[in-house]
Structure 1
Amino acid sequence: MSTPEPYLPAPSPALSQSDQDALTDLYVRGTPANTLRAYERDLLYVTAWKAARFGVPLDWPESEATALAFILDHARDLGDAAPEDVARQSAEMLIAQGLRKSLACPAPSTLDRRIASWLAFHRMKNLTSPFDAPQVKQARAKARRAAARPPAPKSQQPITRDVLEQLLSTCRGSRRDCRDRAILMLGWASGGRRRSEITGLMFEDVSLKEFDEKSLVWISLLETKTTTKGETPRLVLKGRAAQALAHWIEVGEIQDGPLFRPVSKADRVLTRRLSPDAIAQIVKRRAKLAGLPDGFASPHGLRSGFLTQAAMRLSLHRSMAQAQKYYDDVDIADNPATDLLG
């Protein structure tokens, strides 16, 4: 058996091979797919960075000097650095490999995520991380403050109802159209769902028991970014949104497995799960077909658009948690926000 990636548990001499395999499987099943993908990207990046900067592979555990160099290289704008600056030269190599976009100082959140991944790799190997050393932690805090900037919006435009209607108008009669209509309506009308939440849905997560009588479709999310398994309440789709989802299930002949799937050029529904990145392509394509400007909206616009439509700003609530207190005693099917799409 090959050595597992650093984002998986290291082999332990105290475990049998079957127990080691079971532990690895547990880590994979217990780690969100988005996190595993981020681990893979971050591992590729830090490996390439060290090779470019020092000409050697990663060490386990990594040295504090390397950790400090990583922070320093990513805490300044290298476009102002001299051509012979080793940090700039390393960054240019990463740009050539397609791993870095520019010489500009990366966003603090990007640096934080890569460091968090690197730290996690050490934990999975039962090793002490250099990023836990006092001087390194202090340098990281200083870098975060020095590079502080206003957070950029995840979507240039919220997809409010009028924008959503423009996107939906491009969905006509093909299976692809039916799928995209269901995705857009579910993503918006169920409270603004994230891409991974939409593509993670299984047929078994949908209940159509009340559809014929009440035009209600109930959805069970396994977990979300802010909730864990068993804590996520059921979501409801009503009216048009419920009809769009039920229609997709019918025309897509979805009887089990992933709820949303790729559709071939021949308009044939495939069996595999739709990827989260595909949601971005769907929003981009529908916006283009609707005649909206390039980059007008992203999948996060479904979330921000729903919340905007729900008048969160006008209510002057400072957080979703604060607003939620006012709805704790209201059955979700009676919540007026579920009728925003009509």
Structure 2
Amino acid sequence: LRHLAQKGMGANTLRAMASDLGYLEAWSRASDGFALPWPAPEAIVLRFVAHHLWDPAERARNAGHGMPDSVRQALAATGRLRSDGPHAVATVRRRMALWATFHRWRGLEGPFSSPNIRNAMRLAAMATDRPRGRKSARAVTRDILDRLLTTCGGGRLIDARDRALLLIAFGSGGRRRSEVARLTVEDLMERSPVPARRGDAQGVMLRSLGLRLGRTKTAGADQDERVVVVGRPVDALLSWLFAADIAAGPIFRRIDRWDRIGEGAIDAQSVNAILKKRCRQAGLDPAAYSAHGLRSGYLTEAARRGVPLQEAMRQTRHRSMQQASSYYNEVEIERGESARLG
């Protein structure tokens, strides 16, 4: 089972699952003094909801509302709890979904679909006043991307790598960190040049490449997910590969302070670190941007340029129309009159 999990799930997913399971175990010991029971009684799951989704105003009036101080202090002492306030609804749902998944893996029936628990979650979500946070406070749109790229003109190998990484991550639909980090030369598929202006076969032609994504967050390796990049990202990528003399294996590799290129690929966290470093160098607040901002920025930029939503989704590989359309809705409101009535 461990082997299958490692083969079928990305490293980030496995780390997140281990972290959430560790939290559940720590909460159970802090709350009851015992290890997490299997199967979990309905009363314990309801207590988990009550400890994590609560109303701060009611807490001020009633000290027994929400998570008890003894539980909070025990979790904080082990580094499991970093906030004194209620959890985000999405975090609680994710941990409960994982809890239910582990029940199924053990061949057990859990209480997670019971009417009492579903009703408790619904009421708690309606009562919470904590808005859902975004993975990146600000989107990395084309104008922001161009500012980051101005910091990559130093002529060093690390500048060539970072320029290629940022352009490929954005131009391929705002790829996720793990997808960018594990790209290899073998994932590149040569394609014929395409016109810079659609339908103008006699005009300027742009180089084009296909990227084989393999396993993604929403698709298995057997689905052979692919996207196409054209123009500036392709030029930057090929320039990096030539400068680094990379003909096979990982595309984006570690580079030490002496400009020596390693054999192994960078990890997903490095993609985020590179973006934040370039933000700092461009005079932008690194705390306001993350690698996910490339994904939201791509969709926001597509909406601004009038790219049809379904066409943009073919590049981002979004499965949810609702999630992808939220960026388009914001742009439409921004351009419309409804936001100007005041």
TM-score (norm 2): 0.78
Partner of 2:40: 62
Match of 1:160 in 2: 141
How far off is 1:185 after superposition? 0.3
Shift of 1:116: 0.9
Say yes or no: does 1:285 pair with 2:277. yes
Q: CA RMSD in A?
A: 2.8
Distance 1:293 1:323 in 2: 28
Q: 1:103 aligns with which of 80, 84, 92?
A: 84
Distance 1:304 1:60, change over 3 A: same
> Which ranges of 4 or more aligned residues in structure 1 deviate by more than 4 Å?
83-86, 208-211, 230-233, 313-317, 321-325
Q: What residue number does 1:115 align with?
A: 96
TM-superposed CA distance for 1:215, in Å, is: 2.1
Matched, 1:30 2:11: no
**Unpaired stretches in structure 1, ≥5 consecutive residues:** 1-8, 10-23, 326-342
Match of 1:187 among 169, 183, 202: 169
For residue 202 of structure 1, report the CA deviation from its aligned partner: 2.3
Shift of 1:83: 8.7
CA distance in 1, matches of 2:272, 2:140: 13
Q: What residue is the counterpart of 2:181 in the other structure?
A: 199
The worse-fitting range, judged by mean Cα deviation, of 37-46 and 194-203 is 194-203
Structure 1 residue 49 corresponds to structure 2 residue 27: yes
What's the CA shift string for 1:197-217, capped at 9, x where partnerless? 212322211134658x95222
> What is the distance in 1 between the residues matched to 2:189 and 2:224?
16
Partner of 2:245: 253
Q: Which residue of 1 aligns with 2:196?
A: none
Q: What is the CA-CA distance between 1:323 and the residue it aligns to?
A: 6.7
1:74-223 equivalent positions in 2, closer than 5 A? 74-77=52-55, 80=60, 82=63, 87-147=68-128, 149-171=130-152, 172-208=154-190, 210=192, 215-223=207-215
1:328: which partner in 2? none
- Over residues 173-198 of structure 1, what are the superposed CA-to-partner deviations in whole Å (9 max), with x where a residue is unaligned? 22222211111000111122121221
CA shift, 1:233, in A, is 4.8
CA deviations over 1:245-282 (Å, ceiling 9, x no partner): 11222333333333222222222222333222211111
CA distance in 2, matches of 1:252, 1:98: 41
**Structure 1 residue 316, shift from structure 2 partner:** 10
Structure 1 residues 324 and 43, CA, compared in 2 at 3 Å: closer, same or farther?
A: closer
Does the residue aligned with 1:236 lie in a helix, a strand or coil? strand
Contact 1:61 1:128 in 2 (8 A): yes
- Tell me if the contact between 1:199 and 1:276 (Cα under 8 Å) persists in the aligned partners: yes
Change (3 A) 1:42 1:149: same
Question: SS of 1:221's equivalent?
Answer: strand
Separation in 1, partners of 2:283, 2:23: 37
Gaps of 5+ in 2: 194-204, 315-342
User: Aligned equivalents of 1:215 and 1:277: distance in 2?
Assistant: 30
Alignment partner of 2:26: what SS?
Answer: helix
Contact 2:52 2:66 in 1 (8 A): no
Following the alignment from structure 2 to structure 1, what is the Cα–Cα distance between the partners of residues 53 and 122?
Answer: 11
- Provide the aligned length of Structure 1 versus Structure 2: 299
1:220 alignment partner, SS class: strand
Secondary structure at the residue paired with 1:201? coil
Q: Residue type matched to 1:29 in 2?
A: K
Which of residues 22, 39, 44 is equivalent to 2:17?
39
Paired amino acid for 2:178: S
* SS in structure 2 at match of 1:215: strand
Question: Which secondary structure state, in structure 1, belongs to the residue aligned with residue 229 of structure 2?
Answer: strand
Q: Does 1:299 align with 2:277?
A: no
Q: Which has the higher strand share?
A: 2
Shift of 1:45: 0.7
- What residue identity is the alignment partner of 1:285? K
Shift of 1:84: 11
Q: State the distance in 2 between where 1:255 and 1:137 align.
A: 53
Question: TM-score scaled to structure 1, two decimals?
Answer: 0.78
Distance 1:233 1:57, change over 3 A: closer
Mapped to 2, the partners of 1:262 and 1:77 lie a distance apart of 46
CA–CA separation in structure 1 for the residues paired with 2:273 and 2:228: 25
Aligned-partner Cα distance in 1 for 2:67–2:136: 35
Q: In 2, distance between residues paired with 1:98 and 1:109?
A: 20
1:297 and 1:146 mapped to 2: Cα distance? Answer: 30
What is aligned with 2:263?
Answer: 271
- Check conservation: 1:224, 1:232, Cα contact below 8 A: no
Q: In the alignment, which residue of structure 1 is the partner of 2:233?
A: 241
